Amino acid sequence: MTACPFGTRRTRRWIPWLSISVPTLGWLVFVLYPSAATIYYSLTQYSGVPGAPVNYCGLCNYQQAFTSLSSQTWAALKVTLVYAAGVTVLQIVIGLGLALLLNRRGRLFSLYRALVFMPQIFSVTIVAALFSLILDPVSGPAEKILHGLFGASSAFLGDSSISLPLIILINVWMFSGYTMLIYVAGLRRIPPELYEAASLDGCGWWSRFRRITWPMLAASTTVNVFLTAMGCLGEYALILLLTDGQFGTQTIGMYMFQQAFGQQSQLGYGSMLAMLQFAMTLVIGGVLLFTLRRREVQL
Amino acid sequence: MSPVGSRPAGRSPRRLLRPLSVLGVAALTASVLAACSSSSSDSQTLVIAEWTNAAAVTYTQQIDSLFEKEHPGVTVDLETAPTANAGWPTLESSVLASKGVDVLAEFPPGPAAYPPNYTGIVPGNPAALVTSHQLVNMANEPFMKYYNKTNAEYAAGYDGGIYGVPAAEYVNNGGMWFKPSLLAKYGLSVPTTYNQFIADCKVFKAHGITPVFVAGKDGYQNILFAGIYNQLIMNDTPASDATTISLNRNVAFWKGTQKWTDPVYQTTASEYEQVMQYIEPEAAGVSAQTAPAEWAVQSSNYPFFIDGSYDGNTITQANPSLNVGFFAFPGTNNPSWNRAPLAPDLTWTVPTWAKHKTLAMEWLELFSQPSNYAGWVKATGSLSTETSVATPSLKWTGWLSANMSNAYDALTTPWAPNGAPTNATEPDTIAMQPIGSVPPATELQDSTNNYANAIKAAK
């Protein structure tokens, strides 16, 4: 038996407790406390300015959100759902398409996959700055191309009818590489014998995809759909930088950010919106996970 | 049998480990404590936070260098963040939460930031800092003698005290830039009435020139909307009455005796709609960060540009050869009513808990010395708020110099309960046509309804 250098048998009993105490402390300070504080602040009228009075007002913020300000709240919830659904569907379709296209051996395909994944490593600020310049309606290249090809012009991000779809596309451009990588990993786990057998049975490409590839990618789809949808339900950074929540792009996350940390910050109201966002994420996340896992079992 | 028992007698590794561990922990603790104590007692770093305005930041750095020279051993750390995309509020919250700032730039609260108790409104930043006694009252500081007292009281006054140094003042509402060469080319002069402005726009349009440019994506067209109603409401009332008129208007809105559907706002919306027919068609996608430079480089297009006077340096730096001027948009057909509404801007404050309060006051003294302040207003294009320093004569300040004497403090937006929709406090010109899709009359009605609902909920 090897001797333990740390203390006697008596003191050694404390080692497990000490070991978990550090992460527990971290959890208490960085997870439990902020969560509890958000719940509490959502019940107050508080500007968020350190040292300013925190006035407890019960459910006043919740009441306001669903009575006098309900149109604003529902509009933000609706935009969030459209945004999350749009990004999730497009990202899954494009990510899967790219995975099928680039799941081949060879240095060139490795390079292509790296290029497709690259936008993921850019910060949101860089991506937003890049697309703000591209989509500038006076001096941006998008305007020149649109004008050159169709003789038309557009305000792009300043046009309420297309600003949300544009942000959805930018998000998809940024994160499709990640979705692709998860699908590539899934594709490589499918036994080639299944395809060989299907080919011998005379199955075409579409039939092989529908009966082998898609069902065998169920676990990858669960991960991709869940992660993408959850990320989108809390989205605000890209929107903040591109449109500041204007032109029909105010998601619940953006609305919360503006209320809690905007120029005339009201952290109490913002915390209430954070609680609404949490509840929405919990419900949608739960439903998605339940449905997708059940689908995995069925397949 | 204990594993220890199998070891030879003498100092076992475990026995050695214990005193070594104790010594290690003690040494670590001592070094951490030493580091802490040295940082609190010896550190002479004056921390200043200011939002990003290139000219202002550059000049502040010059003052900082001067201050460091005059105070050997003192370092000035300047923290900056852009006002766009909530960058500045985020930095501000951070330095306030960590109590890590000695001199903090603030947008001055003005008297409307302290709603009466009956409204139940919790003041936002920076008024909340004042009411919670976190800003130093500077009314009796020696350097305040340099500043116009009325200005300082309006910008940072509360309950008899003055809680900031009003370092800058600009024309925001009604602010309009123009290209004199383009006007001269078509035999036009700076319009002094609303009808003249529209006539000028028609002339330009007839020559294939898009008359007006604006950063529509960030809502700068609101400068026009607010400028018009400021002039219609203030008409030729003395500038000294502006604060009273503004506060009475806020009370009237709160009590429901004034609404966004009132005739004055209907007229405003109608004029606004007419002017907006002449803007760059895709202005809704132009951001405030790029607009001044985009306007400046297109010397043969866009004779007018809706923007505040704070962008003077950005415009002149983007195209130094551009002949450029600034005036207040004429919102009425009575030239004497078309005065410039003023907006106090950067105001230096010192938190009561600042670690280097004395140094902060010395820095403000240095900044406020007329010779230094003269450099500041020249660099930033700000109107002077010091009594002995004249507003600088720059190539675009001709109209301002000639008309500043009758300018007044801009009307503030009505008090809004927490969480009120954006268009409750003022019709949303981003939603309104032509930037948005809502007809002006509908937007006025929406604003009225939203304000009434927000007040009802608050009561």
Can you say whether residue B10 is alpha, beta or left, with left for phi > 0 and alpha for psi between -120 and 50 degrees? Answer: left
Tell whether the torsion through CA atoms of A200, A205, A210 and A213 is positive or negative: positive
Angle at A14 between CA A9 and CA A20, to 5 degrees: 145
List Cα–Cα distances, B271 to B228, B274, B308, B330, in angstroms.
8, 5, 19, 11
Instruction: Report pTM.
Output: 0.83
Looking at the fold, whether A24 and A46 belong to one and the same domain comes out as no
Find chain B residues with C-beta within 8 A of A61's C-beta. 418-419
Is there a domain that residue B102 lies in?
Answer: yes
Name the nearest CA neighbour of B92 among B379, B361, B351. Answer: B351
- CA–CA distance, B104 with B350 (Å, rounded to integer): 6
Looking at the fold, whether A113 and A214 belong to one and the same domain comes out as yes
Q: Where are the alpha helices (DSSP H) in A42-69?
A: 60-66
Looking at the fold, whether A242 and A104 belong to one and the same domain comes out as yes
Looking at the fold, whether B366 and B286 belong to one and the same domain comes out as no
Domain with B109 in it: 43-170+344-404
pLDDT in tens, B92-117: 888 888 899 999 999 998 888 999 99
Looking at the fold, whether A8 and A122 belong to one and the same domain comes out as no
Can you say whether residue B160 is alpha, beta or left, with left for phi > 0 and alpha for psi between -120 and 50 degrees? Answer: left
pLDDT in tens, B361-419: 999 999 999 999 999 999 999 999 999 999 888 989 999 989 988 999 999 999 988 76
List Cα–Cα distances, B367 to B345, B360, B377, in angstroms.
16, 10, 11
Looking at the fold, whether A110 and A8 belong to one and the same domain comes out as no
- The better pLDDT of the pair B456, A109 is held by A109
**A274 neighbors A160 (Cβ within 8 angstroms):** no
The pLDDT-based confidence of B40 (bands split at 50, 70, 90) is: very low
Q: β-strand B161-162 against B157-158: which pairing, if any?
A: antiparallel
Find chain B residues with C-beta within 8 A of A244's C-beta. 85, 218
What CATH number did the domain enclosing A168 receive?
A: 1.10.3720.10
Q: Which tokens in the block code for residue B251?
A: 């009370």
- CA–CA distance, B232 with B264 (Å, rounded to integer): 7
Residue A3 has a pLDDT of 56
Looking at the fold, whether B311 and B452 belong to one and the same domain comes out as yes
Q: Is cis: bond before A16, omega within 30 of 0?
A: no
Looking at the fold, whether B356 and B439 belong to one and the same domain comes out as no
Q: Where are the alpha helices (DSSP H) in chain A?
A: 9-12, 14-27, 33-41, 60-66, 70-102, 107-117, 124-134, 141-150, 163-188, 192-200, 205-208, 214-216, 218-233, 237-242, 252-261, 267-298
Query: Are B282 and A137 an interchain contact pair (Cβ–Cβ within 8 Å)?
Result: yes
Query: Are B280 and A138 an interchain contact pair (Cβ–Cβ within 8 Å)?
Result: yes
Looking at the fold, whether B335 and B348 belong to one and the same domain comes out as no
Name the nearest CA neighbour of A277 among A264, A293, A259, A299. Answer: A259
Looking at the fold, whether B88 and B158 belong to one and the same domain comes out as yes
Is there a domain that residue A35 lies in?
Answer: no
Is there a domain that residue B83 lies in?
Answer: yes
Name the nearest CA neighbour of B220 among B270, B286, B268, B162. Answer: B286
pLDDT in tens, B55-82: 899 999 999 999 999 999 999 999 999 8
Q: Residue B9 pLDDT more than 50?
A: no
- CA–CA distance, A100 with B188 (Å, rounded to integer): 65
Looking at the fold, whether A159 and A12 belong to one and the same domain comes out as no
Can you say whether residue A176 is alpha, beta or left, with left for phi > 0 and alpha for psi between -120 and 50 degrees? Answer: alpha
Is there a domain that residue A87 lies in?
Answer: yes
- The better pLDDT of the pair B52, B28 is held by B52
pLDDT in tens, B197-226: 999 999 999 999 999 999 999 999 999 999
Name the nearest CA neighbour of A49 among A195, A191, A278, A261. Answer: A261
Is there a domain that residue B11 lies in?
Answer: no
Find chain A residues with C-beta within 8 A of B437's C-beta. 160
Q: Residue B41 pLDDT more than 50?
A: no
Looking at the fold, whether B213 and B297 belong to one and the same domain comes out as yes
Is there a domain that residue B9 lies in?
Answer: no
Residue A15 has a pLDDT of 85
Element (H, E) at B81: strand B75-81
Looking at the fold, whether B289 and B157 belong to one and the same domain comes out as no
Is there a domain that residue B2 lies in?
Answer: no
Is there a domain that residue A247 lies in?
Answer: yes
User: Looking at residues B144-168, what average pLDDT do you find?
Assistant: 95
Q: Nearest by CB to A157, which of B285, B421, B454?
A: B285
DSSP strands (E only) in B185-309: 212-214, 304-306
Q: Tell me which of A138, A160, A243 to substitute to probe the interface with B (most B C-beta atoms closer than 10 Å).
A: A138
Looking at the fold, whether A131 and A168 belong to one and the same domain comes out as yes
Q: Residue B5 pLDDT more than 50?
A: no
Residue A212: Cβ-neighbour burial (10 angstroms; 0-12, 13-18, 19+): middle
Element (H, E) at B106: strand B103-106
What CATH number did the domain enclosing B362 receive?
A: 3.40.190.10
Average pLDDT in chain B: 89
Nearest CA in chain B to A76: B421
Secondary structure class of B208 (helix, strand, coil): coil
Q: Nearest by CB to B3, which of A1, A52, A139?
A: A1
Looking at the fold, whether A160 and A78 belong to one and the same domain comes out as yes
Looking at the fold, whether B80 and B56 belong to one and the same domain comes out as yes
Find chain A residues with C-beta within 8 A of B435's C-beta. 158
Looking at the fold, whether B385 and B303 belong to one and the same domain comes out as no
List Cα–Cα distances, A163 to A157, B141, B392, in angstroms.
5, 51, 42
- The owner of tokens 């060879």 is A106
Residue B121 has a pLDDT of 85
Domain with A99 in it: 42-298
Looking at the fold, whether A129 and A274 belong to one and the same domain comes out as yes
Quick one: what percent of chain B has pLDDT higher than 90?
Answer: 75
Find chain A residues with C-beta within 8 A of B132's C-beta. 49, 51-53
Secondary structure class of B431 (helix, strand, coil): coil
Tell whether the torsion through CA atoms of B443, B449, B453 and B455 is positive or negative: positive
| Count of domains observed in chain B | 2
Give chain A's residues under pLDDT 70: 1-6, 68, 263-264, 299
Query: Are A246 and B418 an interchain contact pair (Cβ–Cβ within 8 Å)?
Result: no
Query: Are A64 and B90 an interchain contact pair (Cβ–Cβ within 8 Å)?
Result: no
